[in-house]
Amino acid sequence: MNEMTRIEADELVDAPVAPGARVRRLLIMSSVPVLLAFVAVYFWLTSGRTVSTDNAQIQAHVVSVSPEVSGRIIEMRVKENQIVKAGDVLYLIDPEPYRIALMQADAAVGNAQLDISQLQGSYSSKVADIGEKAADVQLAQENFRRQAELLQRGFTTRAAYDAARAALASAQAQQNSASASADAARAMLGVSDNGGHPQVEAAIAARDKAALDLRRTVIRSPMDGRVSQADKIQPGAMAIAMFPGLSIVSNEGYWIDANFKETQLPRIRIGQRAEVEIDAIPGRTYKAHVTGIGAGTGSAFSVLPAQNATGNWVKVTQRVAVRLVLDDKPDRPLVSGWSAHVTVHVAE
C-alpha cells in the first residue's frame, strides 16, 4: 500500500505542467514583491512632504456688544442666530431718564447764557461809572486849582482849600474803584480759546454729553454678522454700562488656528499651501495657505504659565498656533469653534 502511494506521488511530480499554469504561477509570485516595491516608493516620495494636525479650530471675529449707558431694557429687536447688518438696532434701553437729563442740560445752558448777559450788563454799567467818576475828578481838579489860586491871593480860607483837595482825592479814589470794578466785571466775561465764555461752554458740553447718552440708549450692531447669546438679555433686565451683553459673530474673515507641535514648525513657512478638512462638513477639502506663525506657545500665554526652573521638571512637547486662511469659499456658513484637520505642504 505504501509502495503504491509512493509510486503515484512520483508520477504526479514527474507529470508535465501546463504552460498557462506556469505563467499564472510566475505572475502570482512576482506580484507581491512588485506591490511591496510600489508601496515603498510611494512612501519614500510622500514621506516628509507634508505635516498635519487635527488640533485645529475655525475662528472668526467676535465682538461683545456692551452698552455705554446703564438702564432697563425695554425692547429686544433681534433673536438668537439672526443675521444683522452694521447699524441695525439690537435692543433699546429706557430713554426717559436720559431725556430728562437732556432737558435739564438745555435749561442749564439757558441759565448760563442769562448769567453772561447779566454780567455783560454789569460790565457796561461799570464802564459808565468810570466815565461819570472821570467827570467828577475833572470837576474836583478844577475846583482845587481855583481854591489854590484864591489862597495865594488871600481871598479864601485854608479850610476851603483843604476841603477842595480832599474832594479831589475822594473823586480820584472813586474813579480808581470804578475802574477796578470794571476790570473785575470784564474778567468775569473772559473768553476761552474758542471765543466763548467758559461757563456757557461747560453747559453746552454737558448738554452734548446728555444728548450722546440719550442716543446711546439705542444699541446698534457694530458690524455685519450673526447674533449670538441674545438669550442672555431680555426686556425688563438691567443693562450695565460696559458690561458685555450679546455678541456678534462676523460673517466674513474666518480663519483656522492649527496648533502644530513644536517639532513640526521648522519646516512650516508663511505662504505654503494647505488643505483643510472640517469635521462638520464631511467629504469636502478646502484649499488654504499659511498666513502666520504664533509668537509663543499656548502655555506661554496662559494665566499661570509653567515654571520649568524646578528639579522635577518634565519635558512636554509644546504646540504653537499656525494661522491659515481659506482660499476656497465654503458652501455653507462656518461656525466659530468647529474642529478641523489641517495638512500643510512643506516640501514646496
Can you give the pLDDT at residue 197? 73
The string of pLDDT tens digits covering residues 158-210 is 777 778 778 778 877 877 777 777 676 666 666 554 556 778 888 999 999 99
Task: Let me know: does 60 contact 253? Beta carbons within 8 Å.
Answer: yes
Residue among 59, 58, 62 nearest 225 (CA): 62
Rounded CA separation 70/73 (Å): 9
Can you give the pLDDT at residue 135? 76
Buried b (16+ CB within 10 A) or exposed e, 116-147: beebeebbeebeebbeebbebbeebeebbeeb
Rounded CA separation 165/171 (Å): 10
The string of pLDDT tens digits covering residues 85-131 is 999 999 999 999 999 999 999 999 888 877 777 766 666 766 777 77
Q: What is the mean pLDDT of residues 297-323?
A: 75
Q: Which of 6-15, 89-98, 143-152, 262-271 has the highest mean pLDDT?
A: 89-98
The string of pLDDT tens digits covering residues 249-275 is 987 778 999 999 998 988 899 999 999
pLDDT band at 12 (very low <50, low <70, confident <90, very high): very low
Residue among 124, 105, 127 nearest 116 (CA): 124
pTM of the model: 0.63
- Report, in angstroms and rounded to the nearest whole number, the Rg of the chain calculated over CA atoms: 48
Alpha-carbon distances, residue 2 vs 7, 13, 15 (angstroms) = 9, 17, 20
Rounded CA separation 172/194 (Å): 38
Strands 273-278 and 339-345 come out as: antiparallel
Least confident of 1-10, 186-195, 330-339: 1-10
* Count of other CB atoms within 10 angstroms of residue 340: 23
3-state secondary structure of 206: helix
Mean pLDDT of all residues belonging to the chain:
81
pLDDT band at 55 (very low <50, low <70, confident <90, very high): very high
Residue of higher predicted confidence among 245 and 325? 325
Can you give the pLDDT at residue 304? 66
Can you give the pLDDT at residue 57? 95
Can you give the pLDDT at residue 193? 47
Architecture of the domain defined by 254-345? Beta Barrel (2.40)
Beta bridge partner(s), residue 83? 226
For the chain, the domains span: 63-94+217-249, 97-200, 254-345
What fold is seen in the domain 63-94+217-249? Answer: OB fold (Dihydrolipoamide Acetyltransferase, E2P) (2.40.50)
The set of cell numbers assigned to 280 is 462638520
